[in-house]
Structure 1
Amino acid sequence: MARRALKLASWTSMALAASGFYLYSKEYLDLNDFGAVRVGRAVATTAVISYDYLTSLRRVPYGSKEYLQLRSKVHLRSARRLCELCCANRGTFIKVGQHLGALDYLLPEEYTSTLKVLHSQAPQSSMQEVRQVIREDLGKEIHDLFVSFDDTPLGAASLAQVHKAVLHDGRTVAVKVQHPKVQAQSSKDILLMEVLVLAVKQLFPEFEFMWLVDEAKKNLPLELDFLNEGRNAEKVAQMLKHFDFLKVPRIHWELSTKRVLLMEFVDGGQVNDRDYMERNKIDVNEISRHLGKMYSEMIFVNGFVHCDPHPGNVLVRKRPGSEKAEIVLLDHGLYQFRLDYCHLWQSLIWTDMKSVKKYSQRLGAGDLYPLFACMLTARSWNSVNTGIGRTPVTATEPTTSPRSASSSTTCHARCCSSSRPTTCCVASRLPWAPAPVPAPSSTCRVAASGHWLRTRRRTPVHSSKGPRSLLGRPSAYGRSTFMNSFCV
Structure 2
Amino acid sequence: MALRLLKVPSLATAVLASSGFYLYNRRLDFNDLSLIRFGRAAATTAVISYDYLTAFKHVEYGTEEYRALKSKVHRRSAERLRDLCCANRGTFIKVGQHLGALDYLLPEEYTSTLKVLHSRAPQSSMEEIVQVIREDFGKELSELFVLFEETPQGAASLAQVHKAVLHDGRTVAVKVQHPKVQRQSSKDILVMEVPMIHWDLSTKRVLTMEFAEGGQVNDREYMKTHGINVNEISENLGKMYSEMIFIHGFVHCDPHPGNVLVRKCQKSKKTEIILLDHGLYQVLQPDFRINYCQLWQALIHQDMSGVEHYSRKLGAGDLYPLFACVLTARSWAAINSGISSVPVTLSEDVEIRTNAAVYLPQINDLLNKVPRQMLLLLKTNDLLRGIETTLQTRASSSSFINMSRCCIRALARHKRSKIQSSRRRLQITLTESFNLWRLSMYELFLWLKGSLLGQGVSTLLAFLH
Pairing partner for 2:247 from 285, 301, 305: 301
Measure the CA separation in 2 of the matches of 1:129 and 1:375.
42
Quick check: 1:228 aligned with 2:189?
yes
Does structure 1 retain, via aligned residues, the 8 Å contact 2:105–2:353? no
User: Which deviations, in whole Å up to 9, do the C-alpha atoms of 1:106-148 show, x marking residues without a partner?
Assistant: 6555433432232244121111111222222334332222232
Where does residue 146 of structure 2 map in the other structure? 147
Pairing partner for 2:209 from 255, 263, 266: 263
In structure 2, do the counterparts of structure 1 residues 165 and 408 end up closer, same or farther at CA, with 3 Å as the change threshold? closer
Quick check: 1:171 aligned with 2:125?
no
1:446 partner letter: R
- Calculate the TM-score normalised by the size of structure 1: 0.64
Where does residue 160 of structure 1 map in the other structure? 159
Q: Give the deviation of 1:309 after TM superposition.
A: 1.0
In structure 2, do the counterparts of structure 1 residues 451 and 385 end up closer, same or farther at CA, with 3 Å as the change threshold? same
**Structure 1 alignment gaps of length 5 or more:** 1-33, 188-220, 238-247, 462-488
Show the 5 A alignment for 1:246-325: 248-325=194-271
More deviation, 48-57/117-126: 48-57
Measure the CA separation in 2 of the matches of 1:296 and 1:61.
47
Where does residue 118 of structure 1 map in the other structure? 117
1:428 match: secondary structure: helix
1:405 partner letter: E
Measure the CA separation in 1 of the matches of 2:233 and 2:240.
10
1:299 match: secondary structure: helix
Does structure 1 retain, via aligned residues, the 8 Å contact 2:133–2:141? yes
1:94 partner letter: I
Measure the CA separation in 2 of the matches of 1:407 and 1:288.
23
Q: Give the deviation of 1:262 after TM superposition.
A: 1.7
Quick check: 1:49 aligned with 2:48?
yes
Aligned residues: 369
Measure the CA separation in 2 of the matches of 1:358 and 1:134.
54
Where does residue 451 of structure 1 map in the other structure? 414
Measure the CA separation in 2 of the matches of 1:335 and 1:299.
11
Quick check: 1:436 aligned with 2:395?
yes
1:177 partner letter: V
In structure 2, do the counterparts of structure 1 residues 369 and 39 end up closer, same or farther at CA, with 3 Å as the change threshold? closer
2:89 partner letter: R
Does structure 2 retain, via aligned residues, the 8 Å contact 1:402–1:410? no
2:179 match: secondary structure: coil
Quick check: 1:343 aligned with 2:294?
yes
2:160 match: secondary structure: strand
Query: What's the Cα RMSD here?
Result: 3.7
Does structure 2 retain, via aligned residues, the 8 Å contact 1:379–1:437? no
Pairing partner for 2:274 from 304, 328, 332: 328
Q: Give the deviation of 1:46 after TM superposition.
A: 3.4
User: Which deviations, in whole Å up to 9, do the C-alpha atoms of 1:235-261 show, x marking residues without a partner?
Assistant: xx4xxxxxxxxxx31223333333222
1:111 match: secondary structure: helix
User: Which deviations, in whole Å up to 9, do the C-alpha atoms of 1:31-82 show, x marking residues without a partner?
Assistant: xxx9676566444433323433454567889999987776655444332222
Does structure 2 retain, via aligned residues, the 8 Å contact 1:95–1:159? no
1:436 partner letter: A
More deviation, 363-372/260-269: 363-372
In structure 2, do the counterparts of structure 1 residues 74 and 330 end up closer, same or farther at CA, with 3 Å as the change threshold? same
Q: Give the deviation of 1:89 after TM superposition.
A: 3.6
Quick check: 1:426 aligned with 2:372?
no
1:289 partner letter: E
Measure the CA separation in 2 of the matches of 1:406 and 1:332.
31
1:309 match: secondary structure: coil
More deviation, 175-184/373-382: 373-382
1:430 partner letter: L
Measure the CA separation in 1 of the matches of 2:139 and 2:332.
60
Q: Give the deviation of 1:319 after TM superposition.
A: 0.9
1:400 partner letter: L
Measure the CA separation in 2 of the matches of 1:403 and 1:272.
20
2:293 partner letter: C
2:395 partner letter: P
In structure 2, do the counterparts of structure 1 residues 449 and 80 end up closer, same or farther at CA, with 3 Å as the change threshold? farther
Pairing partner for 1:360 from 311, 316, 330: 311
In structure 2, do the counterparts of structure 1 residues 250 and 45 end up closer, same or farther at CA, with 3 Å as the change threshold? same
Measure the CA separation in 1 of the matches of 2:41 and 2:327.
34
1:148 partner letter: L
Percent identity reads 62
Q: Give the deviation of 1:360 after TM superposition.
A: 3.4
User: Which deviations, in whole Å up to 9, do the C-alpha atoms of 1:339-390 show, x marking residues without a partner?
Assistant: 143232123234443342344356565544334434544555445335456x
Pairing partner for 1:369 from 314, 320, 333: 320
In structure 2, do the counterparts of structure 1 residues 46 and 155 end up closer, same or farther at CA, with 3 Å as the change threshold? same
Where does residue 83 of structure 2 map in the other structure? 84
Does structure 2 retain, via aligned residues, the 8 Å contact 1:102–1:429? yes
Where does residue 480 of structure 1 map in the other structure? none
Measure the CA separation in 1 of the matches of 2:338 and 2:44.
47
1:447 match: secondary structure: helix
2:245 match: secondary structure: helix
Show the 5 A alignment for 1:63-82: 73-82=72-81
In structure 2, do the counterparts of structure 1 residues 309 and 414 end up closer, same or farther at CA, with 3 Å as the change threshold? farther
Does structure 1 retain, via aligned residues, the 8 Å contact 2:98–2:383? no
2:83 match: secondary structure: helix
Where does residue 206 of structure 1 map in the other structure? none
Measure the CA separation in 2 of the matches of 1:449 and 1:159.
41
User: Which deviations, in whole Å up to 9, do the C-alpha atoms of 1:393-415 show, x marking residues without a partner?
Assistant: 4xxx3333554217653325654
Where does residue 335 of structure 2 map in the other structure? 384
Q: Give the deviation of 1:275 after TM superposition.
A: 1.8
In structure 2, do the counterparts of structure 1 residues 132 and 364 end up closer, same or farther at CA, with 3 Å as the change threshold? farther
Measure the CA separation in 1 of the matches of 2:158 and 2:262.
23
Does structure 2 retain, via aligned residues, the 8 Å contact 1:303–1:449? no
Q: Give the deviation of 1:334 after TM superposition.
A: 0.6
2:182 match: secondary structure: helix
1:182 partner letter: V
